[in-house]
Amino acid sequence: MSERIKVGAVCGAAPRPFWSVMIPTYNCQKFLAETLRSVISQAPDASMMEIWVVDDGSPEGSPEELVREIAGDRVKFHRHPKNLGHVKNFEFCLNQARGEVVHMLHGDDYVLPGFYSAHEKAYKENPEIGAAFCCSRQIREAGEFVSNSPMVIGNTGVLPSDWVLELCVTNRLETPSITVKRSVYEKHDAFDSLYGWTEDWEMWGRIAASEPMYFIHDILAVYRRVEVSNTSKRYRTGENVTDFYNAGLKIQSYVADVPEAVTKEHQKHSAFCGIKVALLLFPQDIRGVYNNLKEAGKILPFFTLTRFFYSLVTGTQSKDKG
C-alpha cells in the first residue's frame, strides 16, 4: 500500500513565479553555501523564481544564518521544530511551492551555469511535457569526480514513450537534474514514504509512465554522493535491497505489457545492489554483509550470489555461471 499525500493546488489569484527552487536540508550546512550560490548566480528576479531553504530540524550548524549571510531576504527559510524525515520534508516543500515548475535541489547538491535557462526553454518550446531532466555529474563528499550520468538518447529532445521501460530496470537520473511541473505533482501526488531509500526513483517512474519527459544532453547538475555509513540501519539490515526491488516492481505496475526481459534485468540490478553494499560493508560488518546477501538471495539464488561475492572479495573467478 502506498504512503503518499496529495499536493494541493495553489490558492489565490496572485501572480505565480515560473520557478520554485525548493532546497531541503538536514545537517549539510558545510555544502549549503555552494548550493545556494549555484542557484542565485543564475536566478531571475523573485517574480520569476522563488527560492526556499527548508531545514528538517538539523541539530548541527545555523543554516538560517548562512542563508541570510549569502542571500539576505532573497531566499525564504523555514525550519521544522523537530525532524520529520526526508520524505515528509519533501512533501512540505511541494505544498509550499507556488511556481509553475518545481526544482527539488538537495542542500548538498548544486547546479551548473545554464541549468534553469535550458529547462525553461524545454518547457516553453514543448508545452506538452510534464518534466525535464539533464545529464549530471556525480562527485564524492569532498568534491572528487566519480562519473557522469549516461546519455539517455543521442541528443536533446522529447523522450519516446517507451523510455519508461528504462526506469523499470533501475534509476537513470539523479534528483538535482530533474524539474517537474507543479500540476504534475498535483495529478500524481507527492513522494511515497513507503520507499524510504528509492522514493525519488519511484516518483520519476510514476511520472514517466503517463507524462511526456524531455531530455537535455548537457551536464548541468551535480549530485554529491555521501559514502555509505556502516552504522546506517537501512544498509545494515538489507532494507536497501528490498526498497530497490519493490520500487522497480511498483514502476512496472504503472506500465502495460512490461517485457519479461525488462523484469529479469531489474531482478539482476536489485541483487547486484545487495552485492555492492555487501562489498562496502566487508569486512567490518559481517552481519550487514550477510543481511544484504540474504535479501539479494530472495531475488536470485543465494548460492549464486555468495559465490559471486566470494570471487569479488578474493579476486578469484567463480565457476558458477547460474
* Gap between the Cα atoms of 228 and 281, Å rounded: 8
Residues of the chain above pLDDT 90, percent? 85
The predicted pLDDT at position 227 comes to 66
Q: What is the DSSP letter of 152?
A: S
Smallest CA-to-CA distance from 187 within 33, 1, 9 is with 9
Q: Which residues are CB-neighbours of 97 under 8 A, at least 6 positions away?
A: 20, 22, 50, 52, 182
Q: Is the Cβ–Cβ distance between 310 and 289 less than 8 Å? A: no
The predicted pLDDT at position 313 comes to 83
User: How confident is residue 230, by pLDDT bands cut at 50, 70 and 90?
Assistant: very low
Q: How many Cβ atoms from other residues are within 10 Å of residue 8's Cβ?
A: 10
- For every residue of 88-125, DSSP letters joined together read HHHHHHHHH--SSEEEE--TT-EE-TTHHHHHHHHHHH
Helix axes 286-296, 302-314, angle to 10 degrees: 140
Q: Does the pLDDT value for residue 228 go beyond 60?
A: no
Q: Does the pLDDT value for residue 289 go beyond 70?
A: yes
Who has greater pLDDT, 163 or 316? 163
User: How confident is residue 306, by pLDDT bands cut at 50, 70 and 90?
Assistant: confident
Note if the bond before 283 is cis, omega within 30 degrees. Answer: yes
**pLDDT, tens digit, for every residue of 212-221?**
999 999 999 9
**pLDDT, tens digit, for every residue of 14-23?**
999 999 999 9
User: How confident is residue 322, by pLDDT bands cut at 50, 70 and 90?
Assistant: very low
For the chain, list the domains and their CATH numbers. 19-225 (3.90.550.10), 233-314 (no CATH)
Q: Give the C-alpha distances (Å, rounded to integers) separating 235 from 87, 170, 279, 286.
A: 18, 18, 11, 12
SS3 content of the chain, % helix, strand, coil (to 5): 45, 20, 40
- Read off the pTM: 0.93
**pLDDT, tens digit, for every residue of 25-60?**
999 999 999 999 999 999 999 999 999 999 999 998
**pLDDT, tens digit, for every residue of 54-103?**
999 999 899 999 999 999 999 999 999 999 999 999 999 999 999 999 99
**Burial class of residue 139 in the structure, from the number of CB atoms within 10 Å of its CB (0-12 exposed, 13-18 middle, 19+ buried):** middle
Place of cell 545555523: 62
The predicted pLDDT at position 101 comes to 99
The predicted pLDDT at position 121 comes to 99
**Burial class of residue 13 in the structure, from the number of CB atoms within 10 Å of its CB (0-12 exposed, 13-18 middle, 19+ buried):** exposed
Q: Does the pLDDT value for residue 320 go beyond 60?
A: no
Q: How many Cβ atoms from other residues are within 10 Å of residue 160's Cβ?
A: 11
Q: Is 131 left (phi over 0), alpha (psi -120 to 50) or beta?
A: beta
* Gap between the Cα atoms of 203 and 216, Å rounded: 19
On average, the pLDDT of the chain sits at: 94
* Gap between the Cα atoms of 269 and 132, Å rounded: 25
Q: Which residues are CB-neighbours of 296 under 8 A, at least 6 positions away?
A: 238, 241, 270, 271, 272, 273, 274, 275, 278, 302, 305
The predicted pLDDT at position 321 comes to 41
* Gap between the Cα atoms of 275 and 316, Å rounded: 16
**pLDDT, tens digit, for every residue of 106-139?**
999 999 999 999 999 999 999 999 999 999 999 9
DSSP SS3 for 291? helix
